[in-house]
């Protein structure tokens, strides 16, 4: 973990404003992975599994309200999810807690071969 004396968005490169994560249903059978393969076949997209077993699609795309100086241009009227995001949970100061990240179809196929077919894949 990085430690800084003063946690402020003014010294940040706005990591939190450069992607979207959306929860996914945990795949249960091999066929469930077809959508995951499709998702990650798109540019700037990956699928992550968090330490707690939750699955997410991550779309690496910047917010349209992010200014050139990495500040929010609609700060007073920003969405609630942005207001809830604090410097305590900021990506600049904390490591991501993913146990697996899929960025290619090949990575998904390898997961299927090594985990699913050996019966070690579990739904949460």
Tell me the C-alpha to C-alpha distance, in Å, between residue 37 and each of 3, 63, 105, 107, 116: 37, 25, 5, 9, 15
Q: Kindly state whether residue 60 falls inside one of the protein's structural domains.
A: yes
Q: Which residue range(s) make up the domain with 87?
A: 27-118
The helix-helix angle for 33-40 and 105-114 (nearest 10°) equals 150
Whether residue 20 has pLDDT greater than 50: yes
Residue-level pLDDT at 73 = 93
Whether residue 5 has pLDDT greater than 50: no
- What's the chain's average pLDDT? 85
67-102 pLDDT, tens per residue? Answer: 998 889 999 999 999 888 887 777 777 777 789 999
Q: Kindly state whether residue 14 falls inside one of the protein's structural domains.
A: no
Q: Kindly state whether residue 6 falls inside one of the protein's structural domains.
A: no
55 band by pLDDT with thresholds 50, 70 and 90: very high
Q: Kindly state whether residue 20 falls inside one of the protein's structural domains.
A: no
Whether residue 48 has pLDDT greater than 90: yes
Q: Kindly state whether residue 1 falls inside one of the protein's structural domains.
A: no
Q: Kindly state whether residue 13 falls inside one of the protein's structural domains.
A: no
Q: What are the phi and psi torsion angles at 54 (to 5°)?
A: -75, 140
- Domain tally for the chain? 1
Place of tokens 């540019």: 43
Q: Kindly state whether residue 99 falls inside one of the protein's structural domains.
A: yes
Residue-level pLDDT at 88 = 77
Percent of all residues in the chain with a pLDDT value above 70, rounded to a whole number: 85
Q: Kindly state whether residue 31 falls inside one of the protein's structural domains.
A: yes
């Amino acid at each position: 973990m990085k430690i800084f004396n003063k946690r402020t968005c003014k010294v940040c490169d706005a990591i939190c404003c450069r992607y979207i994560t959306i929860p996914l249903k945990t795949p249960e059978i091999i066929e469930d992975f077809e959508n995951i393969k499709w998702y990650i076949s798109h540019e700037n997209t990956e699928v992550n599994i968090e330490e707690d077993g939750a699955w997410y699609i991550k779309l690496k795309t910047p917010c349209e309200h992010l200014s050139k100086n990495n500040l929010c241009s609609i700060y007073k009227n920003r969405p609630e999810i942005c207001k809830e995001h604090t410097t305590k949970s900021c990506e600049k100061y904390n490591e991501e807690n993913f146990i697996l990240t899929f960025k290619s179809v090949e990575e998904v196929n390898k997961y299927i071969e090594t985990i699913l077919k050996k019966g070690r894949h579990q739904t949460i």
